[in-house]
Amino acid sequence: MEDLLAARFQMAMSLGFHIIFACVGIAMPLLMVIAEGRWLKTGDKTYLTLAKRWSKGTAIMFAVGAVSGTVLSFELGLLWPTFMAYAGPIIGMPFSLEGLAFFIEAIFLGIYLYGWERVPRKIHWLSGVMVLLGGMFSGIFVVTANAWMNTPTGFTIVDGKVTNIDPIAAMLNPSSFTQALHMTLAAFLAVAFAVAGIHAYFLRRDPNNQFHRKAFAISLCVGGVVAILQPISGDLSAKRLAKYQPIKLAAMEGQWETERGAPLRIGGIPDEEAEVTRYALEIPKALSFLANFDPNSEIMGLKDVPKENRPPVAIVHFAFQIMVACGIVMIITGILGGWLAWKKKGLPTQTWYLRLVTFCSPLGFIAIEAGWTVTEVGRQPWIIYNFMKTKDAVTSMPNLMIPFIGFTILYIFLSVVVVILLRRQIFYE
Amino acid sequence: MGLELYLAIIMLISLILYMLTGGADFGGGVWDLFAIGARGKTQRDIIHHALAPIWEANHVWLIVIIVLLFVAFPVAFATIGTALHIPLTLMLVGIVLRGTAFVFRTYDDQSERVHLRWSRLFAIASIITPIMLGITLGAIASGTIHANPETGQVQTDFISSWFAPFPFAIGFFTLTICTLLAAVYLTLETDDTSIQDDFRLRAIIAAISVGILAGMSYLLSAEGAPLIQAGLGKSKWSIPFHIVTGLVAILGIWSIWHRYFKLARILIPIQVTLIILGWGLAQYPYLIAPNLTFSNTAAPESVLKPVLIIIIIGGLVLIPAFWYLYSVFKGRSLTK
């Protein structure tokens, strides 16, 4: 049992660490390509400086993302060999495609970072586009594999053995589209707001700095647009959950009873002993409406499944609330920015607004971590939903606390160094 | 020939490409450690410039191998992950520290003290990683990992298969191959003849070490990996194959000695390719001797076929892109 817990912690920690760097690798190329594109179009050197400065931070983050991603691909076998022996072939398709996309990303990142003086300008810009596409698709494919764990399709079980594998059907499982869309938007959202927040901080001190104004404009535009799109994708995800993983949705909402016209709960503390959620602000019938477009539709409650098949409700519920709260703040900030810009016919650089954007800079990443907690913890006790339990997938290797603690120390060390180095890039150069 | 063999061949080619590119990057890290004295700083700079634009792309070959392993031979992946958990974990730590130390060195304070600290970490990680990779491969070849071909369940313990003389010999063999490749490549990364001579000397030392460790590994294989030793001599082409490998190795040293670095840059990679090919052929039909073969661990055809299609289509994109990367950054040293 203790080994199982250590394995889960190690996986969660590795994923939680990697995802931040992976998102930067996906989203920063978009900002750099926009900046460099503006330079090519207008000839304004500030944009060139901007693209170069951004690429330095990206280089640090990408390297950490690449090596921590390698760790994850091995950990699948180091920690969950039974799962991989079972699922490897079924989800091999998205993983192979991911490998390909990541290869493209790594190749063109080399050209992008070190090829400023070596390749023609247009080719350089196109390399940036390739990095963007490679990063985006590699993220999409990996999420697709995860989506399969939530809604496994594309195989049949005969006498306890996996047969009739259809890798394409497995890849196009019911959760793939909504999960991949939500995650990709989240990556752009989190990174754009983080970047906008940093430049907003400098604009407060030096409001006429052209470099920071341009950086702020690009990142806020990207962040604002994505912030408005993200709730739509969130809604699609919730509807998918209601249909395919009703217990996960019930845990997110702290919904114990199966009922028609279920309320949406804001806040509240789920009590797993007493099987109630207390102190929540309840909006009548809102959950039924959001899940099925029908205020009187039936929502499945946690009590419908035996206790041993329920996820840890409180963690999932809290994580979901955190994700939504962060999202709402970013949506408001995005809309507000658009409105201020429209009124002012220029960049919204009011001090209070810059403060607000700076406040928002970590929110996207907090939301990503919380969102993954919802997805992963909400799937428990299953590793493959309704097919294989996590406890049956873990390795027979003993003493898993040792690698868990080892990787934790390693990743804390790396986090500290990355923060110090990013500060150097941002403040001193 | 079953589809799984095509995938096995692609994995072997990927391993060769990983050694020739990523392996050389580890070798570069080793030479960073030995970059001391008056020309130490210049040597480190050359190593840095040689690696910086390409190491991340080179590293992806390893990911290709591991992904193909778990897609095409899932049971073998489960077995390796279980029986070789410890060396693989240490290899991962090495991979993480190597990559991050290299990048941190570039973007941290450029004072000699800080630079040197990251350099040391980079170098040490560059030594650990290929040793652990070699130990893993050696253990796979040793025939001591007993596993159920249906489930991948390992029936032996977690240490004895790799904590033995043969896997360790392969570990150091791998390390010396990396250093040899790096030293040979580095001779072409500079026009300064005194630096070229530094790397020439290192290449000769590395080439001799490769020879010694190849011999040691062969001797140890009698007890440590009997199936491989039998495999190395099993068919009538075995002897000619080894003679060719040996000849290429000797020609390689000869060309380094006589400063034909461009020739050495062709011969040494061929030598390394032949060594890995020889191992692959000797190991066939076992993926993990003695229980797991390529055919009894292969995923069903409905999985292998689309993966092969992806590899072929992907290769059409990837190989020109990879080539372009090299022509941009290595054009000079490749054609000079």
Average pLDDT, integer, range B115-131 = 93
ipTM: 0.91
pLDDT in tens, A204-228: 998 888 999 999 999 999 999 999 9
Give Cβ neighbours of residue A396 (< 8 Å, ≥ 6 apart).
B82, B153, B154
pLDDT in tens, A151-161: 999 888 888 78
Pairwise CB contact (< 8 Å): A70 & B72: no
Element (H, E) at B286: strand B286-288
pLDDT in tens, A33-85: 999 999 999 999 999 999 999 998 899 999 999 999 999 999 998 999 988 88
Q: Is A343 exposed, middle or buried (0-12, 13-18, 19+ CB in 10 A)?
A: exposed
Q: Which residue in chain B has the smallest CA separation from A67?
A: B96
Q: Is A271 helix (H, G, I), strand (E, B) or coil?
A: strand
A339: pLDDT strictly greater than 60:
yes
Of A66, A74, A410, the CB nearest to B59: A66
Give the pair of three-digit tokens for residue B217.
């590994």
Interface test with B, best of A10, A70, A399, A409 (most B CBs within 10 A): A70
Chain A residues within 8 A of B311 when measuring between CB atoms: 96
Pairwise CB contact (< 8 Å): B96 & A410: yes
Give the pLDDT score at A429. 55
Tell me which residues of chain A, numbers 59 to 98, contact chain B at a CB-CB cutoff of 8 Å: 59-60, 62-64, 66-71, 73-74, 76-79, 81-82, 84-90, 92-93, 95-98
Give the pLDDT score at B294. 87
Which residue type does A176 have? S
User: For residues A297 and A249, is the Cβ–Cβ distance under 8 A?
Assistant: no
Chain A residues within 8 A of B71 when measuring between CB atoms: 88-89, 92-93, 95-96
pTM greater than 0.90 (yes/no):
yes
Give the pLDDT score at B107. 87
The count of other CB atoms within 10 Å of the CB of residue A2 is 10
Give the pLDDT score at A2. 86
Round the average pLDDT of chain A to a whole number and report it: 91
CA–CA separation, B281 and B292 (whole Å): 16
Give the pair of three-digit tokens for residue A423.
């500060």
Torsion of CA A338, A342, A345, A350, to 10 degrees: -50
Give the pLDDT score at A399. 87
Q: Min CA distance, B190 vs chain A (Å)?
A: 18
Helix B85-107 / helix B112-142 crossing angle, nearest 10 deg: 160
pLDDT in tens, A96-129: 999 999 999 999 999 999 999 899 999 999 999 9
B332: pLDDT strictly greater than 70:
no
Which residue type does B68 have? L
DSSP symbol at A425? I
Which residues on adjacent β-strands are paired with residue A259?
A299
Element (H, E) at A109: helix A92-114
Domains of chain B by residue range: 3-335
